Amino acid sequence: MSKKKVVLVVAAHSDDEALGCGGTIAKHVDNGDDVYVVFMTDGVASRVENGINESNERLDASKAALSVLGVKEVFRFDFPDNKMDSVPLLSVVKEVESVISRVLPTIIYTHFQGDLNVDHYVTHKAVMTACRPQSWCCVKEIYCFEVLSSTEWNSKAEKAFLPQKIVDVAAQWDQKIEALSCYHREMRTAPHSRSIESVEALGTLRGATHGLDKAEAFFVERIVN
C-alpha cells in the first residue's frame, strides 16, 4: 500500500480549484491522500453588485463543492479580490508559508504563471516564493492547473500553457462536474469558455490526446525525487 500523501491546492478564488483540478483532488482522496485547499480572496468583492448575500452564497457554494471533492480542510484569506497585485508580495507569501508549515504538504497544485487574471499570477508567484527549493522545504512537487476563461485568454505573447502531466480522472469526472454545479452562479452558458460544456470539451480533449476518456492537464514546475 502506497504511503499517504499530503496535498495542498492554492487557489486565488473559490471555483478555481474545481475548474483546475477538481478531478485530481477527488482522485487523491480516493487514493487515501489528505487534500487541503487555500483560497486567497473571497472571489466577489471586486464586483459592483457584490453584497453580503453574494459573499455568503459564494462561501456556501465552496463548502458544498469541497465536500463533494472530499477536501479535508480549507483555509481562507481576505486579500483584495482582483487586486492582489496591490498587496506586497511578502504579505501573500507569509500567508502561504503559514499553511505550508501547518499541513506540511509534499505536493502543491496552483495557478499557471501565464494566466490573464492578476490574482492567479500573484498566487503563483507567492507559492513559488514560499516553496524556494531549499533543504528545509517539504514540497517536492509543484503542478500548475489551467482555469478556463483565464489561462487561454492571456496575450499570445505570454508563455503558453504546455502541460507535461496528464491525470486520468474519468472515474472522478462526475464529482468534478457536481462540484462545479455548486458554483452555478460562477458558471456561464455555452459558448462561454467557463461553461459546463466547455469544461466537458477540455476534459475530453486532454483525455483523448493521451488515449483516455477524461483527463486534467498540468504544467510541471517541480519534481524532486
Cα three-residue angle 78-55-21, rounded to 5 degrees:
70
pLDDT at 70: 98
pLDDT tens track, the chain, 225 positions: 578 999 999 999 999 999 999 999 999 999 999 999 999 998 776 654 655 678 889 999 999 999 999 999 999 999 999 999 999 999 999 999 999 999 999 999 999 999 999 999 999 999 999 999 999 999 999 999 999 999 999 999 999 999 999 999 999 999 999 999 999 999 999 999 999 999 999 999 999 999 999 999 999 999 999
pLDDT at 45: 66
Ranges of each domain in the chain: 6-223
pLDDT at 46: 61
Q: Is 11 helix (H, G, I), strand (E, B) or coil?
A: strand
The CATH number for 6-223, chosen from 3.30.43.10, 3.40.50.10320, 3.40.980.20, 1.20.120.1200, is: 3.40.50.10320
Phi and psi, residue 126, nearest 5° = -65, -40
- Residue 5 near residue 106 (C-beta atoms within 8 A): yes
Rounded-to-integer distance, Cα 20 and Cα 216, Å: 8
The C-alpha cell of 84 is what? Answer: 492582489
Q: What are the start-end ranges of the E strands in the chain?
A: 6-11, 34-39, 73-76, 107-111, 141-145, 165-168, 215-223
162-182 pLDDT, tens digit per residue, is 999 999 999 999 999 999 999
Cα three-residue angle 74-77-80, rounded to 5 degrees:
140
* Integer angstrom CA distances of residue 180 from 34, 69, 116, 133, 175: 21, 10, 21, 34, 9
pLDDT at 52: 64
